[in-house]
Amino acid sequence: MIEHFARPYERELHGRKPCTAFMDATPVVADKDDSLQAVSVKLVQGGAQHMLNGFIVTDRGVYVGMGTGHDLMREITQMQMHAARYANPLTQLPGNVPINEHVERLIASGARFWACYCDLDHFKPFNDVYGYRKGDDVIQLAGGILSAHADPERDFVGHIGGDDFIVVFQSEDWEARCHGMLADFAAQVAGFHSPDDRERGGYLSEDRQGKKVFHALMSLSIGAVRVEPQQFANHHLVATAASEAKKQAKKIFGNALFVDRRGAGPA
């Protein structure tokens, strides 16, 4: 309005017209529960003018306020700086601090989610036989596969450290996504082993006593725990339950998913 009435003769031409004549007929509207990433996509798709004009914020269709492109960029920048500060340097996935914060937010909001602890089987002997460089490549492969099968709008993938990962699912089809992770890892990790090792199904590596021990080819184990509202008081208890589920998954030969449904209602 200020821009319009600062121009010559605008007040005389439009001063008596209703304000609807100057309103944006196709504004960007975001619900208060939309993620910042989702809002940024709406702004970009809506056109450059919306970065300046801003967007409307609603709560189930009811107007609650306004936001600007500057506000949005500031928040996203702060999130990126926070994520980069605690990101794992190898995979660039969020580390322990963002993982814990995310789980705490879900617990506080009363959301239902699945915490999946992911771990590589026989990784240390693989490192000993093939070298840490190939070991790093496998860790990056695992991080990429987990991220590819997670919904960036609903799920969270974090790198605890080493060959341990966590995936926090809110997707309803989380179990199918886990099986997709296992299948992709099984198909792609084979190329990191030598033809001889692939043929014999494993490789020899020295244990701590210097004895040669046969280890199966690397595989991925996922232990999943369903978290109901008010079931766990904090992220420490969620992590403990997920770790126990992971231990059960590692008892299963090969790429495996173990689901701990104790205390959970219908899926």
Tally helices (H) and strands (E) across the chain.
11, 10
Residue 55, domain member (yes or no): yes
Question: DSSP assignment, residue 205?
Answer: E
31-40, 61-70, 106-115, 173-182: range with lowest mean pLDDT = 31-40
Residue 41, domain member (yes or no): yes
Whether 127 and 187 map to the same domain: the answer is yes
Expressed as residue numbers, the domain containing 45 is 2-73
What integer pLDDT is reported at residue 123 of this predicted model? Answer: 94
Determine the residue type at 148: A
User: What token pair was written down for 241?
Assistant: 């339950």
Estimate to the nearest angstrom the gap between the alpha carbon of 116 and the chain centroid: 12
- 216 or 46: which leads in pLDDT: 216
Whether 116 and 233 map to the same domain: the answer is yes
Residue 266 has pLDDT above 50, yes or no: no
The mean pLDDT of 223-232, rounded to a whole number, is 94
Residue 81, domain member (yes or no): no
Whether 35 and 140 map to the same domain: the answer is no
pLDDT band at 179 (very low <50, low <70, confident <90, very high): very high
pLDDT digits (tens, 9 = 90+) for 59-115: 989 999 999 888 888 888 887 777 677 889 899 999 999 999 999 999 999 999 999
What integer pLDDT is reported at residue 265 of this predicted model? Answer: 44
- Percent of the chain, pLDDT > 70? 97
Which residue bears the tokens 């809506």?
Answer: 46
Whether 114 and 233 map to the same domain: the answer is yes
The CATH number of whichever domain residue 41 belongs to comes to: 3.90.1280
The mean pLDDT of 219-245, rounded to a whole number, is 96
66-75, 124-133, 164-173, 252-261: range with lowest mean pLDDT = 66-75
Whether 41 and 164 map to the same domain: the answer is no
Task: Name the domain count of the chain.
Answer: 2
Whether 233 and 186 map to the same domain: the answer is yes
Residue 199, domain member (yes or no): yes
- Percent of the chain, pLDDT > 90? 62
- 54 or 163: which leads in pLDDT: 163
Whether 175 and 123 map to the same domain: the answer is yes
Residue 163 has pLDDT above 50, yes or no: yes
Distance from C-alpha of 68 to C-alpha of 45, rounded to nearest angstrom: 15
Whether 18 and 94 map to the same domain: the answer is no
Distance from C-alpha of 70 to C-alpha of 167, rounded to nearest angstrom: 31
- 166 or 261: which leads in pLDDT: 166
Whether 101 and 202 map to the same domain: the answer is yes
What integer pLDDT is reported at residue 159 of this predicted model? Answer: 97
126-130, 187-191, 206-210: range with lowest mean pLDDT = 206-210
The mean pLDDT of 116-138, rounded to a whole number, is 94
What integer pLDDT is reported at residue 46 of this predicted model? Answer: 79
What integer pLDDT is reported at residue 204 of this predicted model? Answer: 85
Q: How many CB atoms lie within 10 A of CB 127?
A: 18
Largest CA distance in the chain: 94
Contact 245, 260 (CB under 8 A): yes
Alpha helices in the chain (DSSP H): 2-6, 10-14, 36-46, 49-53, 69-86, 96-109, 123-130, 132-149, 174-189, 195-200, 235-250
β pairing state of 202-206 and 219-227 = unpaired
What integer pLDDT is reported at residue 112 of this predicted model? Answer: 94
Which residue bears the tokens 């960036």?
Answer: 152
Residue 24, domain member (yes or no): yes
Whether 12 and 61 map to the same domain: the answer is yes
Whether 104 and 139 map to the same domain: the answer is yes
Distance from C-alpha of 118 to C-alpha of 120, rounded to nearest angstrom: 7
**Number of residues that this document lists for the chain:** 267
